Every structure is written in C-alpha cells, then in structure tokens.
Amino acid sequence: MRDVSATRLFWLLLTCLTALRLALAARLGLTPDEAYYWLWSRHLQPGYLDHPPMIALWIRVGTALCGENPLGIRLLGPLSAFVGSGVLAAAGRDLLGSRAAGYRAALLLNATLMLGLGAATATPDTPLVFFIALALWALGRLYRTGHSLWWIAIGLCFGLAFDSKYTAVLPAFGCGLWALSTPERRKQWLGLLGGVAAGMVAIAPVLFWNATHHWASFAKQGGRAGDWQPLRALSFLGELVGGQIGLATPLVFLLFCVGIVWCIRRSRAESVARLLACLCLVPVIVFVQHAFGGRVQANWPVVLYPAAALAAASTGWRIGTACALGLTLTALVTFQGLFSPLRLSAHHDVIARQTADWSGLALRVRDAMPPGQSLILGDYALAAIMTYHDPTHPVFSYDQRWAYLDRERQSPGPSLLLVRDSEKPDLPSSWLGADRPGRFCRLLRGEPILCYRLISVTIPERSTMFRLP
C-alpha cells in the first residue's frame, strides 16, 4: 500500500510540475536564442554551426502540433521532462534496487532550476537530458537482465543525446570506461560492438554535415579545448562551482557532490557505483580542465545531472529539505515569470531581460522605417528575434553563421542598421550614414530594458548579405 501511495504521489507531483512548465512555456515571450533555433526548425538540416539538429527537430514537431507560437516552440520540453522523469525513476529502480530510490533520483532532478525552468524553454539541453535519462534506463535494463542486446539501445540513446549536444560524448566515454573495467561487461564484446554501431548510425547525419562543411561545427565547439589561461583558472573554477550551485540549487548540488564521492569510494567493489562514478567523473574532469583555459558556461555540466541524481539517491541521505528548497525556488521564479507579482526593475528581472517586449521593439522599429527599406543586423540572435516578430519585413544579416543555414545572399538595397545604443557598428565606416532620430527601447512597465538606434547604411552594389527568414 505504501508503494502504491508513493507512486501516485510521484506522478501527481510530476503532473503538476508539467502543467506549470506548460503554462510558463505559453506565457513567456521567446528569447533571442529560441528564435534562432526556431529559424533552424524552418530549415531542417543534419547539422548546424552551433549545435546538432535535435532541438530544431523538436521545435518543428511542436510547431506542427501547436503552431508558430511560444507554446508550440517549447512544447516538447515540458513533455520530455515528464516522460524523462519516469524513465529516470525506472533506471533508479533497476540500478539501485528499489522503486523508492528511483523516485528519489527523479525528484532531485526535478528540484533543480535546470529542469524546473529549463524544461519550459527550447534549448539543446532539454533533449540532451532526456536522452541521457533514456541511456540510464537502458543501462538499468542491461544491469538487471544481463541481456547484451541492451547495448544497442544504450548506444542509440547516447547517439541521440549527441545529436542534441556534443557534450553527450563525455558520459558516453564514461560508459565505455565502465564497460572495459567490468569483467562481466567485457565478455559482452559483441553487444558492445552493436552498441557502438547503433551510436554511429544515430550520429551519422551530424558527421555527414560536418564532413561536407569543413568540420565547422566540431571546430567551433572543440576549438575551445586548446585555451590555456592558468592565471585566471581560480576565477573560472569559482564561476563553474557558483553556476552549479545556482542551477542545481544549493542543497541539491551538495547532494550531487556527496553522491559522486560516495560512488567513487565504492567503485572498486560495486559495479553500479563504478558506472555512476564513470558517468559523472569524465564530464567533471573535462570541465575542470577547461576552466584552466576559459569560462565554463553554467549549463554545460547539466549533461551529468541525471547520473548525479542517481548517485545522490544511492547514498540513502534524506532529500526532503533539498527537494523542498529546490521546488520552492522553482515555483517562486515560475510565479514571477507568469504573473510578475514583484515589481522588479528591468536591471534585476532576469526573465524579463531575456523575454520582455521583443514584439514591441519590432513594431516600433518597423513603424520608424521608411517604405521600401530593409533592416540590417549584425547580431545573429537579434536578427532571429526580429524576424520571428516581423517575418514579412525584409531582414538581412552579415553574420557568417547564416551561411551554414544555406540562406540566400542578396543585395539589401536601401537599408537601416539596428544596433545597441552603446555599440559601435562593425560595418565599414564608408557605408555608414547619419543616425535616424529617436531611440527604440524594449520596455518593462514603461522602464527601458535595452535601447537601440537606427543608422542609415549605403551598401555597395556588389555587396550581398544573408536574407532572413
């Protein structure tokens, strides 16, 4: 009876969280990066300069179901968090030996701001975490049944995670280390080869796109690895830890750390502890190494969060306070995003700085432009969000990343350049004319968030730019 009550409570909580995420997804305006991924979804390819194609495919499915609106663009995020949480709970049941341990792991993951808020936005991290959770479920099935055919599912899941974000290669490598260091897994060499083959099939489109585009995406993402700035390492490491404390929430982050150490200490004697230690340690080592050369973005380590949640659940420590704090913080931020009960200034309202009044800015800029003139933007994200809110007006950009979206190059003709008030235009000075009268601001309750200006531009006849959308 207790198990039945726990199961009902678990799914009731997940249903409520999913409803809140769907409401937040529908309510908030798009961020510029989400608009950028939306443009990807309108031009589906096997790869893109910044990321693999999974987020574009997810957005395409969501907009086909709900339309070209924020809910459609973000739809699969909350739904995947719901399904992925159940999958992670099943992985915990198989790997940790009890249904309760699986629920503990899933609740810890849902208590993070990464999933609590991140699942309501359209970013590559959402499908990444979902497919990592699926890989953990397949590993649980392998551990529980011993059938080597599960290696094919494991390889496929890691391949789909790689199609979401390249950092998926890190836990996949950790999984390989576990297999090679575990005698009973080494005996399943034929299944292991099948898993590798399945993974290669899954990532083949991304490899093909890179091979036909001079390995541009791999070079862009992997090029950071060679940086070396040891004098700034302490600062970068501090930012890395601080970012995780904020993104995981403080007590959940503490439990993640305890769980990883717990698994490391038991890794010689226990196969599951060794698996979770390998899945977590490889990303940790890579990100710490990266911090000696450059800044580690706060969202990069989310690739290890599902395994870290299982590691934390394996300790048997109480999670009630940590989950309550994380879910409360998530609920407060969600409530603020939905209803704005706190009249925060534009400077302090982080959500509004990303999402508020882009449609108003697009309308004010369009009304100020003379008939027949095009809008030129250098910032790819600004170009994307302006295109989303005013798709009928000619928008051009000279950012070279649009070349990898196979956008048509045209001469813009008579044009105006939109730049931030504080920015210096990066076009040749001989092309630039006078500033147009007025400032064009995104507003939050009448207070400017960011302001822009329009500059007359004369484009030489032979010069072309990328036409959007």
For 287-308, give the DSSP string. HHHHHTTS---TTGGGGGHHHH
Nearest Cα residue to 106 out of 199, 18, 165, 4 = 18
Give the pLDDT confidence score for residue 391 in this predicted structure: 87
Token pair for 431: 């092309």
Predicted local distance difference test score (pLDDT) of residue 342? 83
319 within 8 A of 104, measured Cβ to Cβ: yes
CA distances (Å), origin 223, targets 15, 170, 208, 290, 294 = 41, 16, 19, 11, 11
Q: Write out the two tokens for 73.
A: 């663009």
Question: Which pTM value belongs to this model?
Answer: 0.94
Q: Which H helix or E strand runs over 316?
A: none
CA 133, 139, 143, 146: dihedral to nearest 10 degrees? 140
Distance, in Å, from the CA atom of 281 to the CA atom of 273, rounded to the nearest integer, reads: 12
User: How far apart are the C-alpha atoms of 141 and 432, rounded to whole Å?
Assistant: 63
Residues 6+ apart with CB under 8 A from 251: 321, 322, 325, 326
Q: Is 222 exposed, middle or buried (0-12, 13-18, 19+ CB in 10 A)?
A: exposed
Token pair 């179901």 in the structure block, residue? 65
Cis preceding-peptide flag for 469 (omega within 30 of 0): yes
Give the burial class of 129: count Cβ atoms within 10 A of its Cβ; 0-12 exposed, 13-18 middle, 19 or more buried.
Answer: buried
Cα–Cα nearest to 363, from 443, 432, 437: 443
> Who contacts 382 (Cβ-Cβ below 8 Å, separation ≥6)?
32, 418
Instruction: Report residue 171 as tokens.
Output: 């836990």
- The pLDDT, as a whole number, for residue 372 is 84
Q: Cβ distance 418 to 382 under 8 Å?
A: yes
The pLDDT value given to residue 216: 92
What is d(CA 372, CA 428) in angstroms, rounded to the nearest whole number? 23
List Cβ neighbours of 354 (8 Å cut-off, separation of 6 or more): 31, 32
**What residues form DSSP beta bridges with 435?**
455
**Residue 412: which of 442, 372, 445 has the closest Cα?**
372
Instruction: Provide the pLDDT for residue 2.
Output: 61
Residue 193, judged by CB atoms within 10 A of its CB (0-12, 13-18, 19+), counts as middle
What is the structure's pLDDT at 231? 72
Q: 441 in the Ramachandran plot: left (φ > 0), alpha (ψ -120 to 50) or beta?
A: beta
DSSP, residue by residue, 111-147: TSHHHHTGGGS--THHHHHHHHHHHHHHHHHHHHH--
Structure tokens that stand for 59 in this block:
């957005």
Query: For residue 307, how far is the Cα from the chain centroid?
Result: 17
With beta carbons less than 8 A apart as the criterion, state whether 122 and 77 touch. yes
In the numeric block, the tokens 């531009």 are attached to: 457
- Which pLDDT value is given to residue 224? 59
**Tokens 């998926």, residue?**
168
* Under 8 Å between Cβ of 237 and 289: no
With vertex at residue 71, the alpha carbon angle to CA 335 and CA 405, rounded to the nearest 5 degrees, is 125
Sorted by sequence, the CB contacts under 8 Å of residue 192 that are 6+ apart come out as 148, 151, 179, 185
pLDDT of residue 169: 97
Q: What is the pLDDT along the chain (469 residues), one digit of tens a residue?
A: 466 788 899 999 999 999 999 999 999 999 999 999 999 999 999 999 999 999 999 999 999 999 999 999 999 999 999 999 999 999 999 999 999 999 999 999 999 999 988 999 999 999 999 999 999 999 999 999 999 999 999 999 999 999 999 999 999 999 999 999 999 999 999 999 999 999 999 999 999 999 999 999 998 887 655 566 777 788 889 999 999 999 999 999 999 999 999 999 999 999 999 999 999 999 999 999 988 888 889 899 999 999 999 999 999 999 999 999 999 998 888 888 888 888 888 777 888 889 999 999 999 999 999 888 899 999 999 999 999 998 888 899 999 899 898 777 888 888 999 999 888 888 888 899 999 888 999 998 888 999 999 999 988 888 888 998 7
Q: Who contacts 266 (Cβ-Cβ below 8 Å, separation ≥6)? A: 273, 274
